[in-house]
Chain A
Amino acid sequence: MDEAATRRRRRLIYGGLVGFLLVLPLLAEAAGQGFYISFATRVLILALAASSLNLILGYGGLVSFGHAAYVGIGGYVVGIAFVHAGDGTPILGLLPGGTDALVLLAAAMAVSGLVAAVIGAICLRTRGVAFIMITLAFAQMLFFFLVSLRRYNGEDGIAVWQRSTLPGPLDLNEPVQFYYLVLGLLLALLYGLNRLVASRFGRALRAARDNEGRAQALGFSTFRYQLTAFVLAGAVAGLAGALLVNATGFVAPSYLHWTRSGDLIVMVVLGGMGTIAGPTLGAAALMGMEEFLPELIDALHDGAGDYWKIVLGPLLIVIVLFARRGLAGVIEAAAGAGALRLPRLIPRRPGQPPRRRRTRR
């Protein structure tokens, strides 16, 4: 049957991509381009963050415009622990600082998840335009909160000049080891996400995305599932933030800047919303553009590369208007699936129940 062939080709393409990621450090070292290992590490970390956003945006249909906040919180967990490990003072007078990666990654997930729980519980009381504005506003609140913390250098943030430590011979200072750690985490996350969205929980979440009023009439307390997804997404974003600090060597309020949240949305949509591989493809594409588009433009017109975003802006509009299914859709088409029934991910608005109606008490 044709569908089997399509599935085989799809597997081949994604298998090839994973294979490429597995050998990338070897290729980069062979080519003497060590830079690409750290660049790819950052891409994969942001893929982790974008994939977490995809859970609520792509599968939950919730346009959260503050997701960078949870990345930033996770980053600050590492940064603050590092500061206190350095001067030996306890955090908030209670906890010791530290640099143990396993503890820090878990703590980053816990703190980000907790913050997401509080913010999500308030934001999910609204829908539509209000939800977008409120998620954005709370992220902005956290941004200004961190700016106000003089203990942690306010706007300048924290230089974390020592990477978190792993047990045994493992060492995050080794770019290749760090790369494989991140790749392993990303692949594990994507596998887990794949299971999650197909599970009963995932189905309830998708049902609420497609038609929330109907899902409630069937007996789903949609708020609970959406909030759970919001918290899970926040926790994974926190993990990404903790890794990102290790990759860049600093954490600052700029991690939480609203444009970072916008970037994450762009990655998800560019790659293909509500697909497992999409956000990773989108992260690679956006960061690739950021890295190489300026050079490319410079080559065309000297000095113009500095203004590359004047290209990115309209490009986004074009993508929104014409390329709805993103890069994952391109791969899907390449695999021969073509017009295979891929449901619209966010339903068109006409024919939807009114979205501002409060359906919960």
Chain B
Amino acid sequence: MTADAVLRAQGLTKRYGGLVANDRIDLDVRAGEIHAVIGPNGAGKTTLIGQLTGAVRANAGRVHLAGRDVTALSPARRARLGLARSFQITNVFAGFSALENVAVAAQARAGHSFRFWAPADRDADLNARAADALAQVGLGRLADRPAGALAHGQKRRLEIAMALVQAPRVVLLDEPMAGTGPDEAADLLALLGQLKGRLAMLLVEHDMDAVFSLADRITVLVEGRVISAGAPEAIRRDPAVRAAYLGTDEAAPGAAGAR
């Protein structure tokens, strides 16, 4: 555990009845790095994301965000403290325009919204920041389009813009590649590569190409436990990982592909 960890989980445990979903998970994300979490289906990745964001209450363990204990805080409070996320299933405000989706994210970060009179959609500051974030993800031209009318890959990028505009300390990306076609996936990969170094990211992803090309460190979860953690090369060589996760396909990294 290093001192510059922006997000740190210690001993996170979640039990559903008798079923242990997560068992004493330790994990940290350092400033500027991409830390990937991989594991087969049912490994507890979704539960972990839930615990980190606050949507799922942990039975035991603590979560620190930039050194502050946020274990007891709601998702909204954690977000305001700098924890942004994207969702596994595309999750945007379908009725809002692309720009307004990002502007509303910027608004959420800009402090409370108890402002009752001035029109929000003419707020130059919010709009400028939203437009900037949209441009960064390559959606500048589509700012006025209703988010519901965007193509799938565009929605994924919109989600990343919503995270970016919040200038977060760390972003949790929950399977950003899920459901994208090969071209879209390549675009997204390039985009995440550009952002690397500027932003701390926790990446949960099934696409092994993406994981091994992007991640600085990888944590492998199997049945709710961390079985291995370290640099990609070490993970690639770890026999326990090969057995538990890549065992079905010896050629593994690179071959697992998108779901």
Knowing A217-B79, A219-B79 are in contact, say whether A201-B116 is a contact too (CB < 8 A). Answer: yes
Question: How many Å lie between the Cα of A207 and that of B113 in the bound state?
Answer: 12
- State which residues 227-280 of A face B: CB under 8 Å: 228
Task: Tell me, rounded to whole Å, the shortest Cβ–Cβ distance linking A218 to chain B.
Answer: 4
Instruction: Give the residue of A195, A207, A211 whose beta carbon is less than 8 angstroms from that of B116.
Output: A195
Instruction: Output the residue of B74, B95, B115 with the most chain A CB within 10 A.
Output: B95
Instruction: Give the residue of A214, A219, A220, A344 whose beta carbon is less than 8 angstroms from that of B91.
Output: A214
A90 at the interface (CB under 8 A from B): no
Knowing A200-B113, A201-B115, A214-B87 are in contact, say whether A220-B76 is a contact too (CB < 8 A). Answer: yes
Q: What chain A residues lie within 8 Å of B117 (beta carbons)?
A: 195-196, 199
A128 at the interface (CB under 8 A from B): no
Contact, CB under 8 Å: A199 / B116: yes
A210 at the interface (CB under 8 A from B): yes
- Among residues of B, the one whose C-beta sits closest to the C-beta of A345 is B95
Contact, CB under 8 Å: A202 / B120: yes
Contact, CB under 8 Å: A199 / B118: yes
Knowing A200-B113, A204-B113, A211-B91 are in contact, say whether A343-B80 is a contact too (CB < 8 A). Answer: no
Interface string of B85-99 (1 = CB under 8 A from A): 101000111111000
Task: Tell me, rounded to whole Å, the shortest Cβ–Cβ distance linking B219 to chain A.
Answer: 22
Which candidate, B103-111, B208-216, B223-231, is the interface stretch facing chain A?
A: B103-111
Knowing A200-B115, A215-B108, A228-B114 are in contact, say whether A210-B120 is a contact too (CB < 8 A). Answer: no
Instruction: Give the residue of A200, A202, A218, A225 whose beta carbon is less than 8 angstroms from that of B166.
Output: A218
Knowing A199-B115, A228-B114 are in contact, say whether A219-B93 is a contact too (CB < 8 A). Answer: no
Contact, CB under 8 Å: A198 / B121: yes
- Among residues of A, the one whose C-beta sits closest to the C-beta of B145 is A341
Interface string of A94-117 (1 = CB under 8 A from B): 000000000000000000000000
**On chain B, which size bracket covers the interface?**
35 or more
Question: How many Å lie between the Cα of A24 and that of B185 in the bound state?
Answer: 63
Question: How many Å lie between the Cα of A203 and that of B170 in the bound state?
Answer: 25
Question: How many Å lie between the Cα of A206 and that of B95 in the bound state?
Answer: 10
Q: What chain A residues lie within 8 Å of B95 (beta carbons)?
A: 206, 210, 343-344, 347
Instruction: Give the residue of B79, B87, B114 whose beta carbon is less than 8 angstroms from that of A201.
Output: B114
A361 at the interface (CB under 8 A from B): yes
Contact, CB under 8 Å: A210 / B77: no
Task: Tell me, rounded to whole Å, the shortest Cβ–Cβ distance linking B155 to chain A.
Answer: 12
Q: What chain B residues lie within 8 Å of A202 (beta carbons)?
A: 116, 120
Knowing A195-B119, A199-B117, A341-B146 are in contact, say whether A218-B94 is a contact too (CB < 8 A). Answer: no
B27 at the interface (CB under 8 A from A): no
Contact, CB under 8 Å: A216 / B94: no
A150 at the interface (CB under 8 A from B): no
A222 at the interface (CB under 8 A from B): yes
Q: What chain A residues lie within 8 Å of B53 (beta carbons)?
A: 217
Contact, CB under 8 Å: A361 / B91: no
Contact, CB under 8 Å: A207 / B115: no
Question: How many Å lie between the Cα of A213 and that of B91 in the bound state?
Answer: 9
- Among residues of B, the one whose C-beta sits closest to the C-beta of A218 is B108
Contact, CB under 8 Å: A214 / B120: no
B179 at the interface (CB under 8 A from A): no
Q: What chain A residues lie within 8 Å of B166 (beta carbons)?
A: 218-219
Question: How many Å lie between the Cα of A52 and that of B120 in the bound state?
Answer: 21
A301 at the interface (CB under 8 A from B): no
B25 at the interface (CB under 8 A from A): no
Contact, CB under 8 Å: B116 / A221: no
B131 at the interface (CB under 8 A from A): no
Contact, CB under 8 Å: B120 / A220: no
Knowing A210-B93, A217-B75, A228-B114 are in contact, say whether A203-B80 is a contact too (CB < 8 A). Answer: no
Instruction: Give the residue of B76, B118, B119, B148 whose beta carbon is less than 8 angstroms from that of A219.
Output: B76
Contact, CB under 8 Å: A219 / B108: yes
B186 at the interface (CB under 8 A from A): no
Interface string of A78-93 (1 = CB under 8 A from B): 0000000000000000
Contact, CB under 8 Å: A217 / B85: yes
B20 at the interface (CB under 8 A from A): no
A151 at the interface (CB under 8 A from B): no
Interface string of B134-154 (1 = CB under 8 A from A): 000000000000101000000
Question: How many Å lie between the Cα of A214 and that of B163 in the bound state?
Answer: 12
Knowing A202-B120, A343-B146 are in contact, say whether A360-B74 is a contact too (CB < 8 A). Answer: yes
Known: A199-B117, A200-B118, A213-B91. 16 other contacts (CB 8 A): A195-B116, A198-B119, A201-B116, A204-B107, A204-B108, A206-B95, A210-B96, A214-B93, A217-B79, A217-B85, A217-B87, A221-B77, A222-B76, A347-B95, A359-B55, A361-B74
Residues of B whose CB lies within 8 Å of any CB of A are: 53, 55, 72, 74-77, 79-80, 84-85, 87, 91-96, 100, 104-105, 107-109, 113-121, 123, 146, 148, 162, 166
Residues of A whose CB lies within 8 Å of any CB of B are: 195-196, 198-204, 206-207, 210-211, 213-222, 225, 228, 341, 343-344, 347, 359-361
The 4 lowest CB-CB distance pairs between A and B, nearest first, are A343-B95, A219-B79, A219-B108, A218-B108
Q: List 18 A-B contacts (CB under 8 A).
A: A195-B117, A196-B117, A199-B119, A201-B116, A204-B107, A206-B95, A207-B93, A210-B95, A217-B87, A218-B162, A218-B166, A219-B77, A219-B79, A219-B109, A220-B76, A221-B74, A343-B96, A347-B95
